Structure 1
Amino acid sequence: MLIGVIADDFTGASDIANTLAKGISPEGGLRTAQFAGVPDRSAPGDVDAGVVSLKSRTAPKDAAVADSITALNWLLAQGCRQIVFKYCSTFDSTKGGNIGPVAEALADALDARRVIFCPAFPTTGRTVYQGHLFVGDQPLHESGMARHPLTPMTDPDIRRWLGHQTLEPVGHLPLMDVTKDPETIRQALERIGHRFVVADAISDQNLLDLGTVLADARLITGGSGIALGLPRNILRAGSVPARDPHFRPIVGPEAVLAGSCSGATRGQIDRHAKRHPTFAIDVPGVMRGDITANTLIDFYRAHEGNAPLAYSSGSPDDVRAFQTEFGRDQVADKLDALFAETAVQLAKHGYRRIVVAGGETSGAVAQALSGALGAPAMAIGPEIDPGVPILSLGSNNTVALALKSGNFGTPDFFAKALRMMEIGT
């Protein structure tokens, strides 16, 4: 294994694993595996890039740092030469968030002299200009992220936001330098005196050029876009042969679980509900114990073959009301446990295609399924929509899994994902 990724949630891990596996340049991609947490065994010998999925995005700083260092040590033991700390392309955190502390700890452990921060993902409209993060044509704080129930982003200036989280001064590599040739970019980067540097990027070409400059960097941080050029570095050096992602279509019963409250996911649920059965999970009922995994299993089995969807997605106001009544952590823990147990029961009942929406929900489901199937490594298959691949879990009675971040995917994502799992393209 040459490249190791530490991802702070499971959908983000799938996102960057997809980037590494497919490649964007003619050279192709790398044989990539995604792991549900830090494995207790060595990685398969044919893996070029390994992505460790953590649930650390909203964790306390000390816990996030400890988990990330554990992941780092495992990746280094697998032979990784380069480490990527992957966070969301909307830099999800708070002023007191853990992106800065985790980056500091990883940089110290790797003795990294300079560390790039670049959450840009132009394919989905996330760009960085003058150190400010944009979603489409809107500054981050005007995009709806300011109302996020867990990580409200109220400032688009990534330099300033990161400055709240770290004692390191934060520098800036402006677009006027990033648009030049890689050697000139390298020279501009060397002139910046700070250890932490936010880099502008508004196109895939900017990210490819940054990737060339960072070929020998011990530590890189960013969204999945920062990895666009990394497979090319490995393949051009002749370290591994080009890999073609291989995916064998999977047939069998299907289910969709949605725990995201993002506007995009709510729209996808509304679209899906026009043609497929849906079950709105009553959160107070879950908290009282009236709604259990058996409730959902009964729903799925009653509608097998018609892409049934169960969801706990609500408006931000609904979410706040439930959090106020029952406690934020209590609601999150109960729903995560419900979705996790439901997924395990689905697999036991022979369900082979499972689509999950929401970062926290995806983490709970992937960890539970990985443990139940005894399969820590998830192979990366075809891309469903930008940033969301099909994952294959287990060697016998393989389960196809799609982990969708709340804001990702086209309006018909759920049906499309299930169809692609079955036909392979």
Structure 2
Amino acid sequence: MADVEVLALADDLSGANEVAAVLGGLRDRSAPGARPEQPGRARATSVRLDAASLRLQEPGPGVVVGVTDNRRRTAEEAAAHLARVLGEAVTARPDAVLLKFDSLLRGHVGAQLAAARRLAPVLFCPAVPALGRTVRDGVLRVDGVPLHEGSLWAAEPAPPAGSVPAQLAPAPVRHLDLRTVRGPGLDQALLRAAEGGAVAVADAETAGDLDRLAAAGMRQGHVLAGASGIAAALASRLPADAPGEGRARTPHVTPQDILVVLGTASAAGRRQAAALAAEGVPVHRLRPEQLAGFPLGTGGTVAVTVEAAVDPAISAAVNAALTALTVRAHGGRHLVLSGGETAHAVLDALGITELTPLAQAHPGAVVAATADGRLVTTRPGSYGSDTSLLEILSTVHALQDTTRKVPS
């Protein structure tokens, strides 16, 4: 399999770009002392919006990330779709396979892991210590608060289970506690889980825990599954540079205004929009019923955010209306899209099928380029500080300047 070192499959677009940035070795520009990313210097990475269209035997970049779009499917559909795509990957045998899911366990994670386990041994851990997301005694905690006791699932139709193994039901699982993860018996525990037909579900509280898991999983040929934490552990085990042939070419970025689209009604999203407005960026705060006919215009750097209480019953309709507004008024502008479902719908409508990640404005906020030089930034709705959108705009402006100076 030519130049593909790693195949990652993500269940939504923002997750795909997030894991592509991590696996591609793109620096976090928000980190203290970070310097602007130089396009073409990182590991060659491509994000394909349709995982089913992947042909893994073809030459390509060092890391290929496919979007299964399984978040919007039923559990049965998601499992069947992942099995089809992963079946080809297992046959083609890339150096490593990663399944990227939401770090808060949203989506049909258990059904997909069960389907994957029928094809290959699977090791799952959703911890992202850098974001305060850890797993102890099988319980996922966010900044110390158990997931099932917080409000991060407010937009979901039902609350999460009280533990990771319970949330994955009915997938067969074997829980690996911290003592096992940090002890000498980790390899044997993984082997017992594989022999028993179970998904190994591991605790982790530190990057070191995830490094041990990734190393043991790769030694035993497991598919690694989880969030950006396990992706970072995998990335640390890849060569510093991908092979020269097949490296992704950096598109020339065309200077354009920016359209920011926020579908979230969270308090964090409102603060981020307010920070934009304080810097002089026009922010249109629209109620759901205003989306269809709003005269946004096709020029200037502007932001749109939906002002509505979280209501799962209307979320699909709101997302469709917001997508239609974005497609109608994008005007060739660079795009900042918060939320994987909205981002995927917009790019599908614009006929964009592949992205080349260029930089991380901050963890989870990835700026990528299309083949014709448009910049598309995606970010999960729950990510980022109050200055998230300002950091993204700064990164987009810097990339426009950099790509005029650095040859692709």
TM-score scaled by structure 1? 0.79
Task: Quote the residue 2:215 is aligned against.
Answer: 212
1:258 paired residue among 257, 262, 277 = 262
Task: Quote the residue 1:411 is aligned against.
Answer: 386
Task: Quote the residue 1:365 is aligned against.
Answer: 346
Q: CA deviation at 1:60?
A: 1.0
Task: Quote the residue 2:35 is aligned against.
Answer: none
- Identical aligned residues as a percent: 23
Q: CA deviation at 1:51?
A: 1.3
Q: CA deviation at 1:204?
A: 1.4
2:202 paired residue among 177, 199, 203 = 199
Gaps of 5+ in 2: 28-40, 403-408
Q: CA deviation at 1:250?
A: 5.1
Task: Quote the residue 2:284 is aligned against.
Answer: 279
Task: Quote the residue 2:187 is aligned against.
Answer: 186
Q: CA deviation at 1:77?
A: 7.3
1:269 paired residue among 263, 273, 282 = 273
Assess, with a 3 A threshold, how the Cα gap between structure 1 residues 37 and 296 changes in structure 2: closer, same or farther. Answer: farther
8 Å Cα contact 2:258-2:302 kept in structure 1? yes
Letter in 1 for 2:259: A
Q: Determine helix, strand or coil for the equivalent of 1:354.
A: strand
Q: Which runs of 4+ in 1 moved over 4 A?
A: 41-44, 73-79, 191-194, 238-250
1:129-175 deviation line (CA, Å, top 9, x unaligned): 1111000111112221242x225443341012213x33x2x211111
8 Å Cα contact 2:207-2:233 kept in structure 1? no
- How many residue pairs align between the two structures? 378
Task: Quote the residue 2:31 is aligned against.
Answer: none
Letter in 2 for 1:281: L
Assess, with a 3 A threshold, how the Cα gap between structure 1 residues 411 and 152 changes in structure 2: closer, same or farther. Answer: farther
1:377 paired residue among 348, 354, 358 = 354
8 Å Cα contact 1:29-1:232 kept in structure 2? no
| 1:391 pairs with 2:368 | yes
1:5 paired residue among 3, 8, 11 = 8
Q: Determine helix, strand or coil for the equivalent of 2:175.
A: strand
Q: CA deviation at 1:361?
A: 1.3
| Aligned counterparts, 1:103-142, within 5 A | 103-108=113-118, 110=119, 112=120, 114-142=121-149
8 Å Cα contact 1:20-1:29 kept in structure 2? no
Task: Quote the residue 1:67 is aligned against.
Answer: 81
Q: Determine helix, strand or coil for the equivalent of 1:235.
A: coil
Task: Quote the residue 2:51 is aligned against.
Answer: 38
1:28-50 deviation line (CA, Å, top 9, x unaligned): 96422111123646477341221
Task: Quote the residue 1:350 is aligned against.
Answer: 332
8 Å Cα contact 1:129-1:202 kept in structure 2? yes
Assess, with a 3 A threshold, how the Cα gap between structure 1 residues 231 and 146 changes in structure 2: closer, same or farther. Answer: closer
Letter in 1 for 2:186: I
Task: Quote the residue 2:21 is aligned against.
Answer: 18
The 2-side partners of 1:218 and 1:197 are apart by: 10
TM-score scaled by structure 2? 0.82
8 Å Cα contact 2:287-2:307 kept in structure 1? no
Q: CA deviation at 1:186?
A: 1.6
8 Å Cα contact 1:92-1:152 kept in structure 2? no
Task: Quote the residue 1:338 is aligned against.
Answer: 321
The 2-side partners of 1:104 and 1:84 are apart by: 15
8 Å Cα contact 1:155-1:161 kept in structure 2? yes
Q: Determine helix, strand or coil for the equivalent of 1:91.
A: coil
Gaps of 5+ in 1: none
The 2-side partners of 1:343 and 1:17 are apart by: 25
Assess, with a 3 A threshold, how the Cα gap between structure 1 residues 346 and 60 changes in structure 2: closer, same or farther. Answer: same
8 Å Cα contact 1:263-1:407 kept in structure 2? no
| 1:229 pairs with 2:233 | yes
8 Å Cα contact 2:125-2:202 kept in structure 1? yes
| 1:87 pairs with 2:97 | no
Task: Quote the residue 2:64 is aligned against.
Answer: 50
The 2-side partners of 1:241 and 1:268 are apart by: 40
Q: CA deviation at 1:194?
A: 5.9
| Aligned counterparts, 1:311-322, within 5 A | 311-316=305-310, 319=311
Q: Determine helix, strand or coil for the equivalent of 1:280.
A: strand
